[in-house]
Amino acid sequence: MARKKPAAGGKKTNTENVMGLRSQVLDQPITETLESNYMPYAMSVIVSRAIPEIDGFKPSHRKLLYTMYKMGLLSGARTKSANIVGQTMRLNPHGDAAIYETMVRLSKGYEALLTPFVDSKGSFGKVYSRDMAYAASRYTEAKLSSICAELFRDIGSDTVDFIDNYDGTMLEPTLLPTTFPNILVSANTGIAVGMASQICGFNLAEVCETAIARLSDPEHDLLSTLIAPDFPTGGELIYDRVELETIYRTGRGSFKLRARWRYVKEGNLIEIYEIPYSTTVEAIMDKVSELIKAGKIREIADMRDETDLGGLKLAVDLKRGTDPEKLMQKLFHLTPLQDSFSCNFNILIAGTPRVCGVGEILDEWTSWRLECIRRRTYHDLTEKKEKLHLLLGLKKILLDIDRAIAIIRGTEQESEVVPNLMIGFGIDQTQAEYVAEIKLRNINREHILKRLEETEKLEREIADLEDLLASRRRLRGVIRTELQQVVKKYPSPRRTAIVYADQIAQFAQEDETEDYPVHVFLSREGYIKKITPQSLRMSGEQKYKENDGLLQELELRNRDELLLFTNQQQVYKLRLRELEDGKASLLGTYLPAQLDMAEGENIFAMVCPGDYTGQILLFFENGKCARLELSAYATKTNRRRLTGAYSDKSPLAAVVPLGEEMELALTSTDGRALIFHTALLAPKASRTTQGVAVMSVKPRQRLQRVCPLSESPIRNLARYRVRSLPAAGALLREEDRGEKQLSILEPEG
C-alpha cells in the first residue's frame, strides 16, 4: 500500500486535519493482518463460543446453568426467566436475547434435548416447528431440572478450575463436573470459523451402560450397548450397522431418520405423530404443497397441522382408493418426512478442537472424570487432615483441662493466651487458636469422649482416602458406581425406534409420463421439434427459418433423453417429455434460450444415450478420435449441463454412437479417405481425453466427414481400408466420390 500524500495546494484533507495531526497509513503485509486481527477472532469463536467441551456444554450453556445454580434454582421454586437472564449477564455479556435463546434450547418445553436441564413453565416454542415462537422472558418461568444435581455435584470440592468473569467481579467454572458423559447425551450443533460441530444425542441409560462396559473392557463392542442415536422428537432410525460403525469409529458419517405414522380407517386419513429431528412441520407441509401443485402427488385431498397440547400431529386426508402404504413410501422419498442426519463429533479437548469417535470420546471423558474425582478426594483428604490436626491438639488439652483453664485464667493479656497454651501443651498456633475458642459448656466428659471418638473415625477415613488416591482401580470403581446411580435415578426410555433397512419396502418411482414413438428434428440454428408419426404423416414440408435447415433427425420414444453436444466442450441434457408435441409447420423450440446457452454456443450434434450402457466415438478435426463409455455422461443428480464434456484441443468433426463394432469411412478436406474398423480403438476413461490419432491430416487440412461404411459411396474398398492406425488414407477416385457428397453422420437412437 502506498503512503498517503498531502492534498494539492497545501490544503489538508479531513483525515490529516484531525486534532491537528497528520494521519499516516502504514504498510502491513496481509499475513500480519490475518495473524493480528483475524486469527484471534477465529480462535475466540472456536474455543469460547461454538465448539462444545468434554462436559458437553458450550460456554453460553455453562454460564446460564451456573448462574441458575448460584440463584438456588436447583431445589427452589421457579422464577421469572427475565430474572435469570439478567443475572446471567454478569457472566455472559452477549445480550439478553442470546441468553434467553440459550435457555429456550435447554428447556423441557422446547424439546430439543433428551435430558433437558431447564424445568420450564410457559410457552417455550417447539424444536419441530419453525413458526411456533417462544414467549417473552417476562412471561415464562424456569428452574433447574433435577438431573442438574449431577452437573454440579461436588463443584465446591475443587473438582474443576474457576476463572474470573469478564469484569473480574466473580468466579465461574471452566467446566461442569458432570457425573455422566453429557457430551454424548445432549445434541449439539456449532459453526465456528473454518470448522463446525454436529453431535447427535444418545439415550442416557445406553450411554451410561456403555461407559460402564468400556471401563471394564476397552475392546467392548459399542453397538451392543449403545444401539443407535436417540432423539427427543422420536421418529424411526433406519439401522445400517456399517454406517453406525463408521460414525462410532471416526466421528463422521450420516444416518437416515423418518417419521412415524398411523392409518385411521374411519376417516380415511394418515396421522403423522413423530418427525425427524432435523426438519420442521412447516418444511414438510411446504414440500407436500409444492408436490401437489406440480402434479407429482395426486393421492392427497388435504393436509392439516393438528398439533396441540397433546403433541405433534399432521393429518393427511386421502382420496378414495389410495393405498396409504404406497403413499407414505412416496412421501418418504420426496419430502423431509425422511431425512439424513450428518455427524461431525468435533469437540474441544484441553482447548484443542478434535474430531473423535464415540470410543475416543468415552475414553477422554473417563480420563477427565478420573481427574475430577482425584481432585475431589484430595480436597476431602486435606479438610479431614486439617480437622484431625485440630482434634489432636484438643486431645492434648483434654488430658489436663484444669491446667489449660489455669493457664488461661493466669494470663493477664488476651493476646498472650494462645502463646501460653502453645508453650504449656506443645501445640502449634492453629491448634491453640481452636482450643481457645472452645465454649465453657463443652468442657465436660461427654463432649471430650465424642471428640476422641471422632479422632479415631477421621484417622480411618483419611487412611481410606489415601488408599483411594493411590488406587486407579478404586477411582474407576467410583465412576462406575456414579454411572449406575444416574441410570437408576433418572430412567430414560428410548424415544427413537429402530427399523432395519431390509424390512423397509423400497420406493419404486413410477414414471407417469406417457410413452409413445416420436420423430425429433434438430435444425442448424438450434430449433428442435418433437412430432408423432401420425402428425408427421398428415404434415407437409418441414418449416425452417430463412438460411436454416435440418441438422439431424432421430426416431425415439417420448421418455427418452437427449445429449446435446455443443461447440464449446459442453453437453446439455434434454428430456423429450419436457417438449410439447409439435407439427412440421412450426419452427419448434429454440434450445439456446431454453437451455440458457452462452452467446456464440451452438449445438453440434444430438445423441440418445438410452440407458447409458453403450459407447460413443468423438472425432476431432485434427484426425484424432476418443472412444468413451456413455456412462461418463450419466449423472445421479438432475444436472442439465456438463462442462468439460470433451477435449478442447481441436474442434469436433463428428459424434458417432457405437452400439456394436463396425467399419467407418473418413474423408478429409484434401480429398483423402480411409476405412477402418472401430475395434482398433481402445476405450478411454476421461471425457477430456484427446483420443488417439486415426487419420494423419496435413497442416491447414482437417477431418471433414465420418459415416458408416454401409452409407458411403466408396466402391474400391480395398484401396482405402487400413489395418493399423494412424493412417494418411488414399486420394479419392472419381467413382468413389458419388453423385452427392458424403453427409455428416446422423446418429440413430
Residues with a catalytic annotation lie at 139
Backbone angles phi, psi at 553, to 5 degrees: -135, 135
Cell of 555: 426416431
Rounded Cα distance between 639 and 608, Å, is: 17
What residues have CB less than 8 Å from 718, skipping those under 6 apart? none
SS3 content of the chain, % helix, strand, coil (to 5): 35, 20, 40
Question: What gap in Å lies between CA 307 and CA 267, rounded to an integer?
Answer: 18
* Pick from 102, 69, 44, 47: nearest CA to 177: 69
Determine the 3-state secondary structure of 170 from DSSP: coil
Cis previous bond, 726, omega within 30: yes
| SS3 labels along 633-673 | HCCCCCCCEEECCCCCCCCEEEEEEECCCCEEEEEECCCEE
Q: Taking the alpha carbons of 211, 216, 218, 220 in that order, is the dihedral positive or negative?
A: negative
Q: What single letter denotes the amino acid at residue 138? A: R
> Which single residue is written with the C-alpha cell 489395418?
723
Cβ density class 136-165: b for 16+ within 10 Å, e for less = ebeebbbbbbebbebbbbbbebbbbeeeee
Contacts of 148 (CB under 8 A, 6+ apart): 65, 68, 69, 74, 117
Neighbours of 460 (CB within 10 A): 9
> Of 198, 192, 180, 191, which Cα lies nearest the Cα of 346?
198
